[in-house]
Chain A
């Protein structure tokens, strides 16, 4: 059994706190049928997307290793087929931790391994010497370095797009084209400010670009409602209208902070100006998290010295 190093535990905790994940009740994983062949599995670490069909099961983001039995239990209520594909939207442990354990438990009868797809920057981060050690068995084994990777599974076209320098440098969004569902990872966390991992290549502008890309793909069914559904990394099921609200929030805060930076304000002066105070009641978890988000935006926009 793999024992997580203390630094990895710290990384997990940091991002769960930054993402505003409420009090963890790890035993609970709830299933929401989304549309077509796609389901949203809601766990304490965030959301997992599952696509099922005659060919097997595809999983987007696998939560932590210890979540694998409960995640599998939820998947088994949808499909008894083997887990054939895994896609990681980015490298964080709560998205990749179950990459090895989940298919091992699911495919115990056959011993078949799952292919784990991710952008090559996910693999780079997981194998970098500066990162807490990720067990080799959890590394992606089918990485791509292009802007887009296409595949088909269960009779459905699936498009994986790399979004660079957003939540991290290795983000991907996954479009299930027939089901018309997007799984977008932590690029989009409705109801809370985004957690931008500057240390691992994230940026506020990249995040905005990613949100705009989601809007480009999504098509509402009627009057800005329904149509393409968007499964976020954390939070409730959404559609295009929800992403618009969120994109506008991040864009407006970027503009405000950029304006204050142009005026020569220091970080402390920007904090004192409270440029997010009209959004804090809607997206803020607590004062500390709000300040951390503002600091991230400031650092992301400040000229590099």
Chain B
């Protein structure tokens, strides 16, 4: 009886810990969703599934991929936390615990891409004031909703929503919902960006536990690669980017479909699509499930139609 009474407070205090799921470990990404975009990279002008507003579309249309090499400061610029989930997303998660109380302070994450490290605070601390510095990983706090961890991230630096120039502003707010099913981790992320989106962008990514995974050092050193005057910023003047129709031509898509926008996200939009002429045989990114183009069949592009 005495033992039982003593156990009651112990169990009461321990209860929150039992409600917490262990996300720690080595996780390898599954690329069965959006593989061409996440591995080899998106096609220019592919804004499919993005609820872009006119500003976001124009920014992407005028983006020039030369900027990544000509502007040295972009050469080692990391993925922000919202895109890092989708990039070379091998990750390690571990816990920071308060030794005195054994309470969980934070989950820590290390991504293969750019050696990015991220902290998700679970100790109830507030977000910093608006005038504090922003970072690529942002400032993240999490709360448990049953067995799901819901994370809110603010203080993000400007980055990209897609690596073909589709921007994501520093005004954005990222919400994630983490769930674990045995050896699988699923993260549903929601980006709200008043600068470039008309409604939230919802995406999901999955990982499987891979205890034998060894994360290498990413390593990146920027260097002058192109002999251009300092301060050169490559870009297309509005209306001059001739590359934007390639994507539609390669896949036989009506051009307007590739422009994205909230309407194009929903099944009802299919009834509005006219002149969809998919190639008879898949010729581009047909078996693309690996990373860095692994398994991707990328023949020379078809001539414009």
Binding site for B on A (CB under 8 A): 30, 32, 40, 42, 191, 208-209, 212, 215-216, 220, 222-225, 229, 235-242, 244-245, 247-248, 251-252, 255-256, 259, 275, 277-282
Contact = CB atoms under 8 A, between A and B. Distances in A.
B269 interface: no
Contacts of B132: 32, 236-237
Interface residues on B, range: 35 or more
20 contacts: A30-B131, A216-B230, A220-B73, A223-B77, A223-B116, A223-B220, A224-B77, A225-B78, A236-B131, A236-B133, A237-B132, A242-B158, A244-B73, A248-B71, A248-B233, A252-B233, A255-B235, A277-B58, A281-B53, A282-B171
B58 A212 contact: no
B135 A225 contact: yes
Query: Chain A interface mostly helix, strand, loop or mixed?
Result: helix
A237 B128 CA distance: 12
A281 B62 CA distance: 16
Interface of B: 53-59, 62, 67, 71, 73-74, 76-78, 114-116, 129-136, 157-158, 167, 169-171, 194-196, 220, 230-231, 233, 235, 237-238
B73 A40 contact: no
A278 B62 contact: yes
Contact of A242 (B58, B131, B134, B194): B134
Contacts of A275: 238
Nearest to B220: A223
Q: Dominant SS at the B interface?
A: loop
A220 B157 CA distance: 14
A252 B78 contact: no
A215 to B, nearest CB: 7
Contacts of B115: 222-223
A280 B76 contact: no
B135 to A, nearest CB: 6
B196 A223 contact: no
Nearest to B56: A278
A238 B131 contact: no
8 shortest A-B CB distances, which residue pairs? A278-B58, A278-B59, A281-B195, A237-B133, A281-B55, A251-B233, A244-B73, A278-B55
Given A223-B77, A282-B169, 10 more contacts: A215-B73, A223-B115, A244-B74, A248-B235, A256-B238, A277-B54, A277-B55, A278-B56, A278-B57, A278-B62
